[in-house]
Amino acid sequence: MDSKYNDSVIRWTKIATIIFILLVVAADCTGPIITRFVTVVWADRLDTPAFVMMTVLFYVGTLFGYVVLFSVFKLLDNMSKDIVFDRANTKLMRYIVIGLISAGLVCAIAGYIWISMLYLTVVAFFMALIVLSVKIVFDKAITMKEDLDLTI
Amino acid sequence: MAIIVNLDVMMAKRKISSGELAEKIGITPANLSILKNQKAKAVRFSTLNDICKALECQPGDILEYQED
């Protein structure tokens, strides 16, 4: 029962991750339109340097978004194959943390153009903190599992 | 590690092969190899009991403490 429920959760989470990846692809395709809207309408900045900087930061940010989303997808894929307490998963979690912190820093720089981007920085850093905590739990569990595997 | 497993010495004394001992004590030859090659992190009392029973020896004949 629990296993079926978990498999279902993993399957739906993988679907959600794919949808998020497609959304980021769509955002990348319409990048200049989005950044123009954010810079002009929300940030009330009409200068070209602000638009160019926002566009560059947007694409750098989505790059880290891909790192995070593909790592999450691979992590879920491992979970569905019953590869749970494995060093490969903690490596993926490290990529997620690095991706989130980098995306947070990009948002912090974008805060220079539009101050509300700093909210995204806080959210990204908080998510990185949570993933880092889970990574530490996994690291400890893997060490315990390795000890148990070598108990004869 | 400071604890040395002298299982191969006792096995040679009793003229018993790895496969035979593994079958007698009910563990896989791979796990017996881990034990013999000093790779094990811990030994269960039940395993130690079975080894002593199969080899007709004391735990001290199999395990030895050596200064690092």
- pLDDT (tens digit per residue) in A66-108: 999 999 999 999 999 999 999 999 999 999 999 999 999 999 9
Instruction: Find chain A residues with C-beta within 8 A of B40's C-beta.
Output: 150-152
For chains A and B, count residue pairs whose Cβ atoms are closer than 8 Å: 23
CA B49 to chain centre: 10
Cβ separation of B39 and A150 shorter than 8 Å?
A: yes
Series of mean pLDDT values for 10-residue runs along chain A (152 residues): 83 96 96 94 90 95 97 96 93 97 96 93 97 97 91 90
Which residue of chain B comes nearest to A145, CA vs CA? Answer: B41
Q: Give the separation between CA B46 and CA B66, rounded to whole angstroms.
A: 24
Domain extent listing, chain B: 3-59
Torsions phi, psi of B30, nearest 5? -65, -45
Cβ separation of A150 and B47 shorter than 8 Å?
A: no
Single out the residue of A116, A95, A101 nearest to residue A43, CA to CA.
A116
What is the token pair recorded at A31?
């990048």
Q: What is the pLDDT of residue A24?
A: 97
Cβ separation of B35 and A151 shorter than 8 Å?
A: no
Instruction: Find chain B residues with C-beta within 8 A of A151's C-beta.
Output: 40-44
What is the token pair recorded at A135?
């990574």
Q: Give the separation between CA A39 and CA A20, rounded to whole angstroms.
A: 23
CATH pick for B3-59 out of 1.10.10.60, 3.20.20.70, 1.10.260.40, 1.10.3720.10:
1.10.260.40
Q: Give the separation between CA B33 and CA A62, rounded to whole angstroms.
A: 50
What's the complex ipTM?
A: 0.80
User: How does the average pLDDT of chain B come out, rounded?
Assistant: 91
Residue A103's alpha-carbon distances to A8, A97, A140, in angstroms, are: 30, 10, 27
The SS3 of residue B22 is helix
